[in-house]
Amino acid sequence: SVCEVLRGKRVVITAGPTYEEIDPVRFIGNHSTGLMGIEIADALSRAGAQVDLVLGPSHLKPQCSNVIVHSVKSALEMLDEAEKYFESADIAIMSAAVADYRPKLVSSEKIKREKTTEMSIELVANPDIAATLGQKKSAGQFVVGFALETAKNAVEEAKRKIVSKNLDAIVLNTLADEGAGFGGTTNKVTIIEKNGVQHPYPLKSKRQVAEDLVSFIAETLK
């Protein structure tokens, strides 16, 4: 059963947005709520796994008190924390909506309004947390990513990400699907294995999507 496979397994999960500081009062962020990753953390915990949840700024929290929450703000902090728990993890699930870029310089003072009509902030690329862990993965570690696609060739894009990030599986959600992706409480996903096998699921609550993912992982690892 799911519990026999997952009992005592160590899991690290990233979830939520990241906030990239501009100055003491401003940041670059996104609309991720963290709900999908939090539901996965709870579902794995119910199945007996030991879960470290590396969570970006979110008002939500897991219901299972067994889930250990490590709160972070930025992508760099999230990478640091995720790497800490990945070393001893059996499974990693990368569900965070990490900011792709951060301001190159963080102003220590609030940036003043100028009388110009335009201003710009120089950005530098953040590390790819999933790819970093994927490259470090040792035999026996299982790494799952997420892909939020808007394009027609969503499956091809998701498969490309499995390869480039060295993942074992990816959870594809397409924004074109009503009720899927960011913000809401429902999601419609296709889990794609690294061998290309696709598992499409109907629209469900994020809680049920999390249960499906946990069953898929248990089935794959058994």
| Residue 119: burial class (beta carbons within 10 Å; 0-12, 13-18, 19+) | exposed
Residue 165 is assigned to a ligand binding site: yes
Under rule CB under 6 A, residue 147 binds ligand C5P:
yes
Q: Return the percent helix, strand and coil in the chain, to nearest 5.
A: 30, 25, 45
Task: Please report how close the Cβ of residue 10 comes to ligand C5P at its closest, in angstroms.
Answer: 19
Give the whole-angstrom CA distance, residue 78 versus residue 87. 15
Radius of gyration for the alpha carbons in the chain, expressed in angstroms and rounded: 18
Is residue 30 flagged as an active site residue? yes
DSSP codes joined into one string, 14-32: EESB--EEEETTEEE----
Under rule CB under 6 A, residue 44 binds ligand C5P:
no
Q: Under rule CB under 6 A, which residues in 4-23 are in contact with ligand C5P? A: 14
**Which residues, at least 6 apart from 107, have a Cβ–Cβ distance to it below 8 Å?**
22, 23, 24
Element (H, E) at 173: strand 169-174
Give the whole-angstrom CA distance, residue 92 versus residue 144. 6
Under rule CB under 6 A, residue 161 binds ligand C5P:
yes
91-99, 101-109, 172-180, 207-215 -> range binding ligand C5P (CB under 6 A): 91-99
Residue 86 is assigned to a ligand binding site: no
Interstrand relation of 26-28 and 20-23 (parallel, antiparallel or unpaired): antiparallel
51-59, 63-71, 92-100, 135-143 -> range binding ligand C5P (CB under 6 A): 92-100
Residue 161 is assigned to a ligand binding site: yes
Under rule CB under 6 A, residue 81 binds ligand C5P:
no
Under rule CB under 6 A, residue 146 binds ligand C5P:
yes
Task: Please report how close the Cβ of residue 177 comes to ligand C5P at its closest, in angstroms.
Answer: 16
* Residue list for the binding site: 100, 110, 146, 161, 165
* Residue list for the binding site for CTP: 100, 110, 146, 161, 165
Catalytic residues: 30
Binding residues (CB under 6 A) for ligand C5P: these are: 14, 75, 94-96, 98, 126, 128-130, 145-147, 161
